[in-house]
Amino acid sequence: MKPFLIGLAIGVFLLFLFINFGSGFRPEQPISFNHKKHQEQGIECTACHSYFNEQTFSGMPKTGVCMECHKDSVTKHPDEEKIRQFQKKGEEISWIRLYRQPDHVFFSHSRHVALAGMECKSCHGDIGQSEKPPSKPWVKMTMKWCMDCHTKTKANNDCLACHI
Ligand code: HEC
Ligand code: HEC
Ligand code: HEC
Ligand code: HEC
Ligand code: HEC
């Protein structure tokens, strides 16, 4: 009898792990952000992702940026209140990043956007139309993807331009 019970317990435990693994890999953003509704208000990408002029990254918006408009309630959406809770606790909203190149790759937003004058859309597609946070990147940013555009635009395709 005993071995059976132990076997059952292990089985249940493994099943539990399995289920957790299956669902746990989908990143869940802390707030159900809607790019489309903000785009329809005429808010520029750069109002929330503002660092590319000087930095290699664009950055995720700080709580204070959201608070500029959401200090008082402007929607009926339950997640709006969460912004004010982060603010009250003095915390930044813990946005999860989907796009992240490996450490051996050098990528600079400043180089592409500020210097070469490229639009966000040419690499990020229609993310501005997303109605809820995507659970995986909209665009697969592989080495081939980088190099194909570099070939087309006659940009540098030396290994050492992108690899450090
Ligand atoms: C009002 C603020 C706001 C505006 C305006 C905005 N974004 Fe965002 N953006 C966010 C937030 C919040 C997230 C994280 C949640 C999500 O993915 O929806 C995000 C996520 C992203 C991501 C994914 C980053 C990652 O690594 O996961 C990209 C790319 C992006 N935005 C590009 C854009 C572009 C391009 C525009 C303009 C068309 C834009 N955003 C306009 C707030 C904004
Ligand atoms: C030439 C292609 C390209 C263009 C143009 C571009 N991006 Fe990106 N973006 C990327 C890549 C590649 C990454 C991943 C970078 C990394 O891993 O460091 C990324 C990451 C991001 C992220 C998440 C990480 C971060 O940088 O904070 C945001 C937000 C983002 N981009 C927004 C924008 C916005 C807004 C614009 C327009 C102002 C823009 N991007 C223009 C290729 C591009
Ligand atoms: C420049 C003003 C402005 C900024 C900055 C801004 N919002 Fe909004 N937001 C609005 C307006 C206006 C609406 C209502 C849009 C509508 O109902 O069509 C809205 C709607 C929303 C909603 C409800 C969406 C829905 O599906 O009904 C959420 C959640 C939200 N914003 C979160 C955020 C977060 C998080 C940030 C910071 C990353 C942010 N907002 C920054 C103006 C802003
Ligand atoms: C849609 C087109 C496009 C994509 C996609 C793209 N780039 Fe670029 N990239 C350019 C252009 C155009 C330049 C030249 C900018 C200039 O110097 O005016 C450039 C320049 C660069 C430079 C500077 C090279 C030098 O020494 O002159 C680096 C590094 C770079 N890109 C890395 C990347 C990486 C890494 C990726 C993929 C994650 C990528 N790029 C994706 C268009 C693109
Ligand atoms: C325009 C930018 C760019 C150039 C030029 C480039 N790479 Fe890459 N490389 C990347 C990016 C982005 C990644 C990570 C994404 C991926 O693995 O597709 C990568 C990944 C790699 C990897 C790791 C692959 C893996 O499976 O983990 C190797 C190895 C590599 N590159 C070698 C090279 C060599 C050798 C050259 C020169 C012939 C080169 N790269 C030129 C952007 C570039």
- DSSP designation for 105: B
Mean pLDDT value across residues 123-132: 95
Query: Ligand 4 center to residue 159 CA distance, Å?
Result: 12
- Position 51 scores a pLDDT of 86
Does pLDDT of 60 surpass 50?
A: yes
Q: How many CB atoms lie within 10 A of CB 31?
A: 17
Determine the atom of ligand 5 nearest the C-alpha atom of 157: 5
Does pLDDT of 92 surpass 70?
A: yes
Is residue 113 within 6 Å of ligand 4 at its C-beta?
no
CA distance 58 to 113: 10
Q: Are residues 39 and 128 in contact, defined by beta-carbon separation less than 8 angstroms?
A: yes
- Position 79 scores a pLDDT of 95
Q: Average per-residue pLDDT in the chain?
A: 89
CA distance 151 to 2: 67
Alpha-carbon distance values, 64 to 30, 58, 123, 145 (Å): 16, 16, 27, 35
* Token couple for 8: 């059952």
Q: Identify which ligand lies nearest to the alpha carbon of 82.
A: 3
Question: 69: Cβ–Cβ under 8 A, 6 or more apart, which residues?
Answer: none
The pTM of the full predicted model, rounded to 2 decimals, is 0.91
Does pLDDT of 22 surpass 50?
A: no
